[in-house]
Amino acid sequence: MTSSTAHDVIRWERDADGIVTLVLDAPGRSANTVDAAFTAALDRAVDRLERERDDLTGVVVTSAKKSFLAGADLRELIAVPRERAADFLAANLAVKRTLRRLETLGRPVVAALGGSALGGGYELALACHHRIALDAPGSEIGLPEVTLGLLPGGGGVTRTVRLLGLLGALPTVLLEGRRHTPREALAAGLVDELAADPEELLTKARAFVRANPDAGQPWDTEGYRIPGGTPGDRALAPRLIALPAQLEKRLRGAPFPAPRLLLATAVEGAQVDLETALLVEGRYLTELVTGQTAKNMIQGLFFDLRAVTARRDAAARPARPTRRVAVLGAGEQAGAIARACAAAGLDTAVTEATEELAGRDVVVVAAPDEADPDHKAFEHVAAALDPDTLLCATSPAVPVARLAEQTGRAELVGLRFAGPADRARLVEIVRGPATGDAALARALDLARVLGRTPIVVHEGPGGSFVSRVLGRYLAEGAAMVGEGIAPASVEQAAAQAGFGTGPLALLDEVSLPLFRRTRGGAAPHPGDAVVDRMLDTFDRPGRAAGAGFHDYDAEGRRTRLWPGLREHFASAGAAPADPAELGERLLFAAAIEALRCLEEGVVASVAEANVASLLGVGFPGWTGGALQFATGHPGGPPAVAARAAALSAAHGERFAPPPLLAAKAGRGAVFTDG
């Protein structure tokens, strides 16, 4: 095999059969990325392919990295301002012209995917005539751009619609942004073959080239029709009409522009020729890239999440790794923690007896705290353990500082899962005043083994970060009920603001007694009186009891808002509430508390605050997190401070801008760890 080093990002190799292998191999980087250097190198490589076409048998595109090709350089995308929209669109169309030249080369082109091909990486594969994926663990294939507020703009929408049809491409590949394993990608039609090992991958790729000298794209053949038809086809039109309604049902009015524009891109593009469809796609992508929502989502859901995960993975490995875990408790949370540990391959036992805890690396106490208000059980548990066994408390109503004082243990942390432990993505590691570095390292290692994203927090008045920020969201929703606002309007306003679950439904899930116990030293809130009345007067503690702000059936499914809310809390003659203002109150209530937590050192970084608010609180994804909400708000922190002051004047001191916000606003600064 002869080789040329003319292209540093894409290596050119040609064998004796005239098959050129383009090896993606960005120097000095662990992964290939669709950045300016790559697109320039690809353009040069296609130039050479066109010059030497008559002497070529075909082309194989592969990678020297563990992955095939990542998507666009997000740092480049997040920096594109609105005034550079025309330049961005021109650059996008230039890349598409290069890919179009590749797929119309007149020689077979095969993508040999030796690892993950996501976003722009898979779009390059789509511009090839045949796609073969290595059936490797951890490899992912797909177009997840919508999860970051974008759409596949390198031909991904245009080509998947022509490959799979509108109904084949839209629901899962495009609108959900699903990441497929190689076998799932084969079943979905995203790849054509699988290979068992790297050698077979290249062997199959070259075999396709030799067997298919006239290979081309199906959409370039005469008489080609999009599978399932175009929007104007009578058979497809009725089914297609349902897609916008299904999308709106899922979004519930929340301000996520990407799915809506993606749907428009696919439908409009299916009605025109391919070149025009690529232009439509580019224009809609440009609108998203230069808008604020994508910048928010990229910051919070990519850069901040990556920073938090990197800290977890960089933490020193403890001298005593976690292999044997005991979960003390018999409730739902204890079972969920045990399932999470067992799924991670840990030797896991669930018990209610302290005498069965010896020899365990970690003991997680998930017993209901209301049965032990003085936390005496922890003293008995601590006494039964080896001195270096890590003791974890899960209840947000159990102050870690008090437990440390009672037990005298440095090997003690709070371990707070944001939701059922077997499904929660985030875990708070609460560090008490006596928690040692060794205990912290072991807790981080446990989070790594469980595959959870951890944030290290301290407790302040009202609890740790998630309990405080979530508590303010829930309390504000309850306060609205107390003001006589229709409960359905409260829940709808939360949905339209982008929260996954309304505050009243979430109060029921958390349970009103737990909410009351965890509000602890937090400042009084008008929502507290509503919760007290729901418990003390109406005996409606939440979903587990079948009665809360909502009614529930025998299986625990929500059936309706409790009619008594209107009877007991409604204000006669009250003016209809503005859903936008209600949603704004919910957003500001949570964001202001997140700012206070950063100010007080409850959470140590902007990235951790954003990630914890997104994964732990359910703060709307379009904001990029509670602090990115302030940065990305129209007008930035100064406008947020001004609006907070106005809300404070209208609704109470709880909305007053914290000093940290006022200081940022005064300097014209934004919230960043940089």
Report the percentage of the chain scoring pLDDT > 90: 81
Q: What is the pLDDT of residues 542-558, one digit of tens each?
A: 999 999 999 999 999 99
Please report which confidence band the pLDDT of residue 372 belongs to, taking 50, 70 and 90 as the band edges. Answer: low
Taking the C-alpha atoms of residue 528 and residue 589, their distance in angstroms, rounded to an integer, is 14
Average of per-residue pLDDT values in the chain = 93
Q: Is residue 589 part of a domain?
A: yes
Domain-ending residue, one of 401, 430, 457: 457
Is the confidence at residue 79, as pLDDT, over 90? yes
Looking at residue 545, what DSSP letter applies? G
User: If pLDDT is split at 50, 70 and 90, which confidence band does 274 have?
Assistant: very high
Distances (CA, A) of 10 to 110, 113, 586: 15, 15, 50
Where residue 485 sits, what CATH number does that domain have? 1.10.1040.50
Type of residue found at 184? E
**Contact between residue 243 and residue 142 where contact means Cβ atoms under 8 Å apart:** no
Q: What is the mean pLDDT of residues 634-651?
A: 97
- Residue 295 belongs to a domain: no
Confidence of residue 290 (pLDDT cuts 50, 70, 90): very high
pLDDT-wise least confident of 51-55, 114-118, 312-316, 439-443:
312-316
The CA-based angle 139-145-148, given to 5 degrees, is 110
Q: What confidence tens digit (pLDDT) does each residue in 554-611 have? A: 999 999 999 999 999 987 666 678 999 999 999 999 999 999 999 999 999 999 999 9
User: Strands (DSSP E) along 246-343, which ranges?
Assistant: 324-328
Judge whether 304 lies within some domain. Answer: no
Is it the case that residue 134 has pLDDT exceeding 70?
A: yes
Helix or strand run (H / E) with residue 480: helix 465-482
- Domain assignment of residue 306, yes or no: no
What is the per-residue pLDDT for 367?
A: 75
* Structural domain count of the chain: 3
Residue 316 is assigned to a structural domain of this protein? no
Q: Is the pLDDT of residue 7 over 60?
A: no
We report the CATH number of the domain holding residue 331 as: 3.40.50.720
Cα–Cα distances in angstroms (integers) from residue 120 to residues 35, 71, 170, 270, 569, in the given order: 10, 4, 17, 21, 53
Q: Is 644 found in the same domain as 559?
A: yes
Domain end residue (candidates: 457, 477, 508): 457
Q: What is the pTM of this model?
A: 0.94
Per-residue pLDDT, averaged over 508-521, amounts to 88
470 with 441, same domain: the answer is no
Rounded CA-CA distance 164/275 in Å is 18
Is pLDDT of 4 > 60?
no
pLDDT score of 375 more than 80:
no
How many residues would you count in the chain? 674
pLDDT band, residue 63 (cuts 50/70/90) = very high
Instruction: Return the sign of the alpha-carbon dihedral for residues 407, 412, 416, 421.
Output: negative
pLDDT of 53 strictly over 50: yes
State whether 484 and 372 are in the same domain.
Answer: no
Residue 347 belongs to domain spanning: 321-457
What would the two tokens of residue 502 be?
A: 């309304």
Pair 125, 251 in one domain: yes
Tell which of 267, 290, 313 closes a domain.
290
Is 522 in the same domain as 448? no
CATH number at residue 48: 3.90.226.10
Phi first, then psi, for residue 483 (nearest 5°) are -80, -5
C-alpha to C-alpha distance for 70 and 33, rounded to whole angstroms: 5
Residue 354 has pLDDT above 80, yes or no: no
Residue 398 and residue 280 share a domain: no
Does residue 515 sit in the same domain as residue 450?
A: no
* One domain for residues 328 and 428: yes
CA distance linking residue 625 with residue 647, whole number of Å: 20
**DSSP characters over 646-658:** HHHHHH-GGGSPP
Can you state the angle between helices 659-667 and 636-651, rounded to 10 degrees?
A: 140
Spatial distance between the Cα atoms of 474 and 505, rounded to a whole number of angstroms: 9
Same domain, 408 and 282: no
Report the percent of the chain where pLDDT is more than 70.
Answer: 96
Tell me how far apart the alpha carbons of residues 637 and 667 are, in angstroms, rounded to a whole number: 10
pLDDT grade for 1, boundaries at 50, 70 and 90? very low
